[in-house]
Structures are given as C-alpha cells and as structure tokens.
C-alpha cells in the first residue's frame, strides 16, 4: 500500500500554486536535490525542512488530532551578472503574491505565514548565481487516530459500574458481528 505523507501533498500543492505565476514560468521543482543547468534558471525549488507538532493540542482532543507546523521553503534560483538582487526581489514579490492569493493552498493547510527571507550568492566565473529562500510556516492538522480497518476485532465488552459507595456491578456484553476479521 502506497500513501503520500501530508508533507508531500503540501509540497505538491505549493508548487502547483506557483506554476506559471512568476517569471520562472513552469520551472517549479518539488525537490531541493536537483542539478540545475543554466537553461533551468530562473527557477523555484519547493522543499520542506522542519516540522513541529503541538503535543498539548494533540492530547486535548478526542479523537486525537495533531496540529503541525511545517517549514516550507520556496527557494528562488537565478543568475545574472548585474542586477541579481533586483531580479531575486522581483521573483520574491511574485512568489509572495501567488501565495497570498490562497494561503491554504486549496485547503491543503489551515494557514501559512512568511517567517523569513534569506539571500545567498555564489560568484562562479562570468555569472553570479543567487538564491532567495522564502520560508513559510504552514499549519495543518492530521488525524492521529487509527483507521477502523487497523483496529482489532473483538466479540465481547466488559462493563463495570460503581454506584456511589455500592458494590461494583460487572456485565459482559456480546458485540454483534464481533470476532470477524
């Protein structure tokens, strides 16, 4: 059985929302581990870095629900000898505008907040390669309860009742259809 983790679904939704919405066009890649060639630039790389789970929230709900906060990076890559800062800032403004158009990424996450921007440069040869990493905190919820298919079958349930100071009463109940697998 092959299922996608919610992080993968989120990365794909972010990339889909950015596709053809910036000067990078269709050069939006869902992975940071990609060999980039000059003809791939400018491009956007979408990847996730860290995720935190709110344990206080998880233990306060029934059935259990995990509130997660995922760091998702949209890494803008471009090359230019002059005006690289301006090019990266233009692309960053386009990415921000595309994200702000739907901060839930078609209801894939509950909310998204831009938390940081980091600019990096590498001067290798005749062209400068630059990167503008926009980090978004994405909040989403997952059901932490097991699927009914994953629960064991049982055919009897025990019930104990204690009425204020009286004797405990115990009764065994047959569960209709129990014991099936």
Tens digit of pLDDT for each residue in 65-112?
A: 889 999 999 999 999 878 999 999 999 999 999 999 999 999 999 999
Question: How far is the CA of 22 from the CAs of 13, 96, 125, in angstroms?
Answer: 16, 10, 27
Query: What angle, rounded to 10 degrees, do the helices at 84-100 and 6-18 form?
Result: 110
Tens digit of pLDDT for each residue in 42-58?
A: 999 999 999 998 877 76
Domain spans of the chain? 6-146
- pTM for this one? 0.76
Q: For residue 17, what pLDDT is reported?
A: 98
Query: In CATH, what is the architecture of 6-146?
Result: 2-Layer Sandwich (3.30)
Confidence of residue 28 (pLDDT cuts 50, 70, 90): very high
What's the 3-state SS for the chain? CCCCCHHHHHHHHHHHHHCCCCCCCCCEECCCCCCCCHHHCCEEEEEEEEEEEEHHHHCCCCCCEEEEEEEEEEEEEEECCCCHHHHHHHHHHHHHHHHHCCCCCCCCCCEEEEEEEEEEEEEECCEEEEEEEEEEEEEEEEECCCCHHHCCCCCEEEEEEECCCCCEEEEEEECCCCCCC
Q: Which single residue is written with the structure tokens 């702000």?
A: 100
């Amino acid at each position: 059985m092959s299922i996608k983790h919610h992080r993968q679904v989120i990365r794909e939704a972010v990339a889909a929302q950015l596709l053809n919405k910036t000067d990078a066009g269709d050069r939006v890649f869902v992975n940071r581990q990609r060999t980039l060639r000059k003809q791939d630039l400018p491009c956007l790389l979408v990847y996730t870095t860290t995720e935190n789970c709110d344990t206080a929230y998880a233990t306060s709900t029934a059935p259990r629900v995990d509130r997660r906060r995922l760091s998702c990076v949209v890494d803008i890559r471009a090359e230019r000898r002059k005006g690289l800062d301006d090019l990266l800032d233009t692309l960053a403004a386009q990415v921000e505008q595309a994200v702000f158009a739907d901060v839930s990424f078609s209801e894939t996450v509950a909310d998204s907040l831009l938390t940081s921007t980091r600019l990096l440069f590498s001067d290798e040869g005749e062209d400068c390669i630059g990167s503008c990493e926009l980090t978004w905190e994405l909040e989403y919820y997952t059901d932490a309860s097991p699927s009914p298919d994953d629960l064991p079958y049982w055919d009897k349930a025990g019930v104990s009742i204690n009425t204020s100071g009286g004797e405990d009463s115990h009764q065994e109940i047959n569960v209709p259809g129990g014991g099936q697998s």
